[in-house]
Amino acid sequence: MLLYGGIGYAQNIPFGLLKPLFLFNNVQHQLQMTPPLDECFIPNPAFSPRSCATGLFEGEANIFEPYWAQWRVGAQLKDTLLTADEKDEVIKTAVIDSGISKEREAFQQMDVTCEKGADEEEICHGTQVASILCSKDHCSVGEAKNAQMYVYSAKEPLVDGMWDEDVADAIEDAIDHNARVINLSMIYFKSPNTLRIQRLMEKVKSSQVTLVWAAGNDFGQENLYPSNVDNLLSIASLNPYLGSSIFSNQGASTDFAAPSDYNMLSLEGRRFSGTSGAAPVVSGIILNMLKVNPNLTPPQIKNILKASSFDLNSTGFDHQTGWGMPNMVKALLAARYVREGRLNIPSVQVMSMLGVDRVLEMVNRLGITTLKDTNDYGLALVLGAGEVSLLELTNVYATFADNGMKKDPVFITKILDKRNQLIFQNKNTFKQVLSPEVAFLISSILSDAKTRFEEFGSALDNETGAAVKTGTTDDFRDSWTLGYTPDLAIGVWVGNSDNSSMDNIAGSLGAAPIWRELMDKFSNVRDYEFMPPSNIVQSKTCFHTAKKNSQQVTNEYFLKGTQPVKSCI
């Protein structure tokens, strides 16, 4: 069965059928060559605080700050890594808190005040939190300079549930204003799992926003949140000795930890303690990552932070500090690594080895008719420099589903008259265009849910076990998702009829939810596992060297006779 929707032409051809590399292992390998800027923001007793504490905000710093203050200097050192255009890139963010001081310069345009009133001298909790991200005119100071900030005031509850309504309204409005990061300081016992926020998490899940949520200050209790979505990060607090702050909540839902125990603020002479101050430190890192690469998805952001964080209590994840303390400079380098498309290099190299002529020959054999003249294309064809129709591309995926057997798509299978007599029978043609072994390898790659989670999170999760691929063209003009089970192939295209850009709608956000719902409804299989033909073998393979046996290995399928024979060193 073939199902497709939204006929159109686009520039993106999902030729990337090679096994995706484990990006963040590669990133970590590359970042070992980072220059010794690490001395300034990775705590190390071998380095004096004096050597790096040359200005947290506009040159104001105390050289006697504890060692983790050196890490905060990364907010300044990032300027050496950002181009002029990246520094000018305006990323929208939102701060939702219990009160923002109306008189603060950065927030004068916002109609929000503290509970105690704008005329009182006390600086509100929300103002202190927001000031870590930016303060003063036009967000000129702070960890996220030049951000466009929306601020929302969530009052203390007068009756049960009112506080939740404020938070939900603010989150929804920030998403509608295309905020990429939402910083919240709402601890769990003030935010019960109301149905309103639960439903809102589905909207968050399908958006491009990352919610950065303070873990809470309940002295080590488990932090609980409305829903476990990929877009939500829970941030614990670190003390000056790089352990968990005594007040900081912890547990399995803790993602990262950042300094917020007697922290300096960008407000003159002020300090702050509490996980509410840790969250904007991470929000600031994410906003700067988005300056470098505005196309990052929330799962990519989370994985970059995981790959570039500094382990604290133990290697990998722990309940006290999550994946560790995010590293500003390494995160920016990793964001640029992804932007520059380093993962496309293997595909280009394969096409270079094969030659454009041979690739087009295979494309035409699979049924693509829009790509013909080899003089019109170069190696960029593998990155999407050609146009295809949705119907033909969906039928290619149906060929993968049918073990390499190509059938021409038809709209009419037969016609019967009023007496149920056959008038016309469409005789479909069948042709083996790929070997069953090659078709299986493609299906195995595209159905690997664990690997694609690194890129897309749970956006492509479905009940069927389908093989699936997304695609996005330049400037978000086209959003693709194509996939299949043995009984059904579905292709979905989302875009504007005038070929204008959509608002940051990637394949995983636009077409994927439609594809997933259709697949779960119309496919007859559940949790399907593509089975290898007899001529396919499994072999342990190293991530980076494609040789067998290593401490970092994965089991991969190979056509018999092509599996690795050399061992890793």
Indicate which CATH number applies to the domain containing 464. Answer: 3.40.710.10
Q: Are strands 467-472 and 181-184 parallel, antiparallel or unpaired?
A: unpaired
In this predicted structure, the answer to whether residue 569 has a pLDDT above a threshold of 80 is no
Q: Is the domain of 49 the same as that of 125?
A: yes
Structure confidence at residue 437 (pLDDT): 94
- Please count the other Cβ atoms lying within 10 Å of the Cβ belonging to residue 158: 7
227 is a catalytic site residue: no
Q: Is the domain of 434 the same as that of 320?
A: no
Return all residues near 409 (Cβ < 8 A) that are at least 6 apart: 2, 391, 394, 395, 398
250: DSSP letter? B
Q: Is the domain of 370 the same as that of 480?
A: yes
Q: How far apart are CA 293 and CA 314, in angstroms?
A: 30
240-286 pLDDT, tens digit per residue, is 767 788 888 888 888 898 888 766 665 555 667 788 888 988 998 99
Structure confidence at residue 180 (pLDDT): 93
Q: How far apart are CA 173 and CA 167, in angstroms?
A: 10
Nearest Cα to 472, choosing from 513, 516, 514, 510? 510
Return all residues near 299 (Cβ < 8 A) that are at least 6 apart: 230, 453, 454, 455, 456, 457, 459
97 is a catalytic site residue: yes
Domain assignment present for 15: yes
What are the angstrom distances between the C-alpha of 117 and each of 96, 105, 184, 187, 375?
A: 17, 16, 21, 23, 70
Domain assignment present for 285: yes
378-421 pLDDT, tens digit per residue, is 777 877 778 889 999 999 999 999 999 999 888 888 999 999 99
Q: Is the domain of 75 the same as that of 140?
A: yes
Q: Is the domain of 378 the same as that of 256?
A: no
Domain assignment present for 566: no
> Which of 326, 349, 381 is at the close of a domain?
326
Q: Is the domain of 373 the same as that of 477?
A: yes
What are the angstrom distances between the C-alpha of 377 and each of 56, 154, 382?
A: 50, 55, 10
Q: Is the domain of 313 the same as that of 452?
A: no
- Higher per-residue confidence, 262 vs 458: 262
In this predicted structure, the answer to whether residue 28 has a pLDDT above a threshold of 50 is no
Domain assignment present for 247: yes
What are the angstrom distances between the C-alpha of 551 and each of 26, 413, 547, 548, 567?
A: 15, 54, 12, 10, 11
Active-site hit among 38, 97, 255, 402: 97
Query: Binning pLDDT at 50, 70 and 90, where does residue 100 land?
Result: low
Query: Binning pLDDT at 50, 70 and 90, where does residue 548 land?
Result: low
Active-site hit among 244, 260, 276, 447: 276
186-207 pLDDT, tens digit per residue, is 654 445 556 677 778 778 887 8
- CATH code for the domain of 78: 3.40.50.200
> Which of 306, 326, 346 is at the close of a domain?
326
Q: Where are the alpha helices (DSSP H) in 44-133?
A: 68-72, 74-77, 84-88, 125-133
CB-based burial label for 273 (10 Å; 0-12, 13-18, 19+): middle
Q: Is the domain of 15 the same as that of 46?
A: no
Under 8 Å between Cβ of 467 and 436: no
> Which of 489, 506, 522 is at the close of a domain?
522
Q: Is the domain of 181 the same as that of 139?
A: yes
- Higher per-residue confidence, 31 vs 184: 184
Q: How far apart are CA 297 and CA 303, in angstroms?
A: 10
Domain assignment present for 72: yes
Under 8 Å between Cβ of 307 and 334: yes
Query: In degrees rounded to 5, what are phi and psi of residue 64?
Result: -100, 15
In this predicted structure, the answer to whether residue 45 has a pLDDT above a threshold of 70 is no
pLDDT, the chain, mean: 71
Under 8 Å between Cβ of 511 and 531: no
Of the chain, the end-to-end C-alpha distance in Å amounts to: 48
**By three-state DSSP, how is residue 49 classified?**
helix
Question: What is the extent of the structural domain holding 463?
Answer: 2-20+361-522
Q: Is the domain of 210 the same as that of 266?
A: yes
Most confident of 161-165, 228-232, 437-441, 479-483: 437-441
Return all residues near 330 (Cβ < 8 A) that are at least 6 apart: 31, 34, 308
Q: How far apart are CA 65 and CA 62, in angstroms?
A: 6
Q: How many CA atoms lie within 13 A of 472 on its CB side?
A: 19
- Higher per-residue confidence, 529 vs 141: 529
Active-site hit among 38, 98, 101, 125: 125
Query: Binning pLDDT at 50, 70 and 90, where does residue 113 land?
Result: very low
260 is a catalytic site residue: no
Domain assignment present for 77: yes
Q: How far apart are CA 441 and CA 536, in angstroms?
A: 9
Return all residues near 164 (Cβ < 8 A) that are at least 6 apart: 157, 191, 192, 194, 196, 197
DSSP annotation string for 126-175: HHHHHHHH-BSGGG-BSTTTT-EEEEEE-PPPSSTTHHHHHHHHHHHHHH
Q: Is the domain of 131 the same as that of 275?
A: yes
- The token pair that represents 131 in the structure block: 């000031």
Structure confidence at residue 420 (pLDDT): 92
Under 8 Å between Cβ of 236 and 275: yes
Burial 530-553 (b: 16+ CB within 10 A, else e): bebeeebeebbbbeeeebbebeee
Nearest Cα to 132, choosing from 244, 260, 229? 260
In this predicted structure, the answer to whether residue 507 has a pLDDT above a threshold of 80 is no
Domain assignment present for 237: yes
Give Cα 120 distance to the centre of its chain. Answer: 42
Q: How far apart are CA 301 and CA 379, in angstroms?
A: 29
Query: In degrees rounded to 5, what are phi and psi of residue 152?
Result: -130, 140
Domain assignment present for 341: no
Structure confidence at residue 508 (pLDDT): 65
Number of independent structural domains in the chain: 2
- The token pair that represents 323 in the structure block: 């994946």
**Tally of residues, the chain:** 569
Q: Is the domain of 229 the same as that of 280?
A: yes
Phi-psi region at 553: left, alpha or beta (left = phi > 0; alpha = psi -120 to 50): beta
